[in-house]
Amino acid sequence: MTTRPLVESPAALHPAVAALPVSGDEVVVGGVPLTRLAARVGSTPFFAYDRQRVTDRVGEVRAALDGAVRLGYAVKANPMPAVVQHLAGLVDALDVASTREMHTALDTGTDPRHVSFAGPGKTPDEIRSAVAAGVLIELESETEARRVVAAGDELGVVPRVAVRVNPDFAVRGSGMRMSGGPQQFGVDAEQVPDLLGYLVATGVDMNGFHVFAGSQNLDAELIAHAQRATAELVVALADHLPGPVRYVNLGGGLGIPYFPKDRPVDLGRVGESLATVVGELIAPALPDADVHIELGRYLVGEAGCYVTRVIDRKVSRGRTYLVVDGGMHHQLAASGNLGQVIRRNYPVLVGNHMASPDMEQVTVVGCLCTPLDVLADGVQLPRAEPGDLVVVLQAGAYGLTASPTAFLGHPAPAEVLV
């Protein structure tokens, strides 16, 4: 088994492609050559998540954090129950953003004390479930705070809460910004002291603070800067609480490389900076605080691929199209329609022709009757025919569950953890 595809193509230059093991002509996923895996799954398209790669990634993060910080998994990145179960055994906490995700998290056997529930627009019923479950509720507004208190009174349970803060600074470099300025997320920092007064008066179990700056950040310096500013803000807010702060969640948002110019995050730098922030700022001021970061995409994104089969190959006025049996209804992000301004290609490969020297330029399209359904535009790939397997990489996070699966009414894909 070699660790490098033999073909020279723009895609082959992508570190995600170079990182994949190859056996003969086939890419190997979870230790299984791709055509064998496709036969085992029994139908295409499907998502495959590589268990070992998830384990390895958590190990890398743990090594970089060096015990200074607890590690949570943000379930929304990939809520497949087997994936969440696997991660539950590797991380310290699970972060959920809906009742269904909360059930998935609790089904793993994770102690509710190590489950947190964030997200705007929690309904009164969701809040009631969360209070009954005993998970940590990350309050996104004053209305939520009142509903949590009411649910606690009704159920005779002391709710466990933290306040999600919308800081008075923005973090640059996030693909998706979720803090600073006006936001639907969190409570504006300047309003937090009043809210704390209310929470303390009601007797809820106020644990601490949560700040999540944004997703898909590849710049370790900007991440480090955000974490320092967040820690300073939390230390200042803690002055408004009579009791000790026991929970500080600094967010995460570490990105993965999707496009050829993307460079992986310097994890060592993030770890060093976190250790400094905890050692110099948080530990002296808030000695009882457990400091957390929570990662979604970074833990699972690179461990997953989306496997499709070529159904048709056609040449239209000089352009070659591979029409596959999957598409944007399963992997919206690769089509460029999930928050990309200018469409760029995710890394793709022909998973059963990894050693073929016969290259050509093709456009890979899905089976939906819309011009939006493009999986890769003008890429160099080994020549593929109907029956061959086209694989979209970096599909382990925000893939299936972030896609419009009902669009055009095709069947749902399988998902396997290998």
Ligand X SMILES: *Cc1c(COP(=O)(O)O)cnc(C)c1O
Examine residue 112 and tell whether it contacts ligand X (CB under 6 A).
Answer: no
- Rounded least distance, CB 298 to ligand X, Å: 6
Cα–Cα distance, 310 to 17 (Å, whole number): 20
Strands (E), 134-256: 136-139, 160-166, 174-177, 187-188, 205-210, 214-217, 247-252
Examine residue 215 and tell whether it contacts ligand X (CB under 6 A).
Answer: yes
- Rounded least distance, CB 268 to ligand X, Å: 18
- Rounded least distance, CB 78 to ligand X, Å: 9
Examine residue 294 and tell whether it contacts ligand X (CB under 6 A).
Answer: yes
Per-residue contact flags (x/-) with ligand X for residues 335 to 374, judged by CB under 6 A:
----------------------------------------
Report the residue from 118, 136, 224, 293 that binds ligand X according to the rule CB under 6 A.
118
Of 7-15, 143-151, 295-303, 344-352, the segment contacting ligand X by CB under 6 A is: 295-303
Report the residue from 25, 26, 95, 373 that binds ligand X according to the rule CB under 6 A.
95
- State how far Cα 43 lies from the chain centre: 26
Q: Which is nearer to ligand X, 97 or 324 (CB)?
A: 97
Q: Which is nearer to ligand X, 46 or 185 (CB)?
A: 185
Examine residue 297 and tell whether it contacts ligand X (CB under 6 A).
Answer: yes
Query: Sign (positive/negative) of CA torsion 207, 213, 218, 219?
Result: negative
Residues of this chain, 370-399, that bind ligand X according to CB under 6 A: 397
Q: Which is nearer to ligand X, 104 or 215 (CB)?
A: 215
3-state helix, strand, coil in the chain (%, to 5): 35, 25, 40
- Rounded least distance, CB 204 to ligand X, Å: 20
Ranked by CB distance to ligand X, the top (closest) residue is 296
Report the residue from 76, 128, 147, 353 that binds ligand X according to the rule CB under 6 A.
76
- Rounded least distance, CB 188 to ligand X, Å: 16
- Rounded least distance, CB 77 to ligand X, Å: 4
Examine residue 140 and tell whether it contacts ligand X (CB under 6 A).
Answer: no
Residues of this chain, 30-69, that bind ligand X according to CB under 6 A: none
Q: How far is CA 141 from CA 118, 122, 193, 206, in A?
A: 11, 10, 13, 15
- Rounded least distance, CB 376 to ligand X, Å: 23
Whether residue 218 contacts residue 173, with contact meaning beta carbons closer than 8 Å, is answered with yes
Q: How many CB atoms lie within 10 A of CB 8?
A: 11
The residue written with tokens 């190990």 in the block is 59
Strand partners for 162:
138, 208
Examine residue 77 and tell whether it contacts ligand X (CB under 6 A).
Answer: yes
250's tokens: 């600094």
Strands (E), 218-358: 247-252, 290-295, 304-316, 319-324, 348-350
- Summarize as ranges the residues that interact with ligand X (CB under 6 A): 74, 76-77, 95, 97, 118, 212, 215-216, 252-253, 294-298, 397
